[in-house]
Amino acid sequence: MSHTAHIPSHRKPRRNAATAAVRAGVTGGVLTAIAVAGAALPANAAEPVTETIEMPVLTSGLAPAAAASADATQQAAAELQQQAQQDAAAKDAAKDAKKAKDVADAKAKAEAKKKAEAKAKAKAAAEERASRSSARTTLSASTTSSSSSSSSSVSTAGLSGSAASIVSFVKSHIGDAYVSGGTGSSSWDCSGLVQAAYKSVNVDLPRVSQDQSTVGTQVSLSNLQAGDILYWGSAGSAYHVAIYVGGGNFVGAQNSSTGVVERPLDYDQPTGAVRVL
């Protein structure tokens, strides 16, 4: 027996077909498992991409959306601008209204002040006239009560009977009340007393002072006679009348404060006079 009979041969044993097939199958399964595992790994752990993938162009879908968004933004801006303009207009209108109100208030205050001053002035004048009238009434009453016969002689000196009767009539009613529209027998207004005095001598006169100031003949205040009609205001539009009784005095229904009184001409200088008798 050869000395090498028990030594294994160094030649690789020949693989049979079955063994090769088994080994090929195992290898294929391993590779498949590796491929599957590789697909499941995250993208950053995968094999480098060797192919370029072309992404689809999206501009055809984005353009209308972008245009709509731009329109909405522009509309919102326009609305904001319109609102700002409206707010500014409202603010200006409020300022104008306040200014107009301030002007109206100032005007109303000025008018009220003016009226108050006029009222106060009229009141002061009335009080002054009343005070002066009271003093003169006292003097006139004392003079009349002391010598009624003397007054009668003064009023009739150089006069006709009618003039004396008129003077006597008005003097007999001194102290009667003044009532607007009054025609007697104890309350009168100025023209009512004059009309009644002349009616006592059968002379008919118009009812109101405006018309009484135009009857008869116009005479100068420096040439008066007892019985003449005195008037205040212009002839034809007189606002007051009285009877001249001689001695520089007149008798008339003056106002509600004094009633029928006798006064000197310089107390309230008449405008003119007419002579009927």
Q: Are residues 197 and 96 in the same domain?
A: no
The Cα 36–Cα 277 span in angstroms is: 152
**pLDDT (tens digit per residue) in 130-140:** 655 554 444 44
Q: Are residues 97 and 164 in the same domain?
A: no
What residues pair up with 243 in beta bridges, in sequence order? 229, 251
Burial 193-225 (b: 16+ CB within 10 A, else e): bbbbbbeebeeebeebbbebbeebeebeeeebe
Q: Are residues 171 and 232 in the same domain?
A: yes
Q: Are residues 161 and 261 in the same domain?
A: yes
Structural domain ending residue among the three candidates 90, 122, 146:
146
Q: What is the CATH number of the domain that holds 175?
A: 3.90.1720.10
| Beta carbons within 10 angstroms of residue 276's beta carbon | 18
Better-predicted residue by pLDDT, 162 or 36: 162
Cis peptide before 209 (omega within 30 of 0): no
* Amino acid at the residue 150: S
Q: Which domain holds residue 238?
A: 156-275
Mean per-residue pLDDT over the chain, rounded: 77
Q: How far apart are the first and last CA of the chain?
A: 208
Q: What is the total count of domains within the chain? A: 2
| Beta carbons within 10 angstroms of residue 143's beta carbon | 14
Q: Are residues 138 and 169 in the same domain?
A: no
Q: Are residues 165 and 266 in the same domain?
A: yes
Give Cα 55 distance to the centre of its chain: 77
Band of pLDDT at residue 231, cut at 50, 70 and 90: very high
Question: What pLDDT does 118 receive?
Answer: 81
**pLDDT (tens digit per residue) in 109-167:** 888 888 888 887 777 666 666 655 554 444 444 444 433 433 333 344 455 689 999 99
Asked, for residue 170, whether it belongs to a domain, the answer is yes
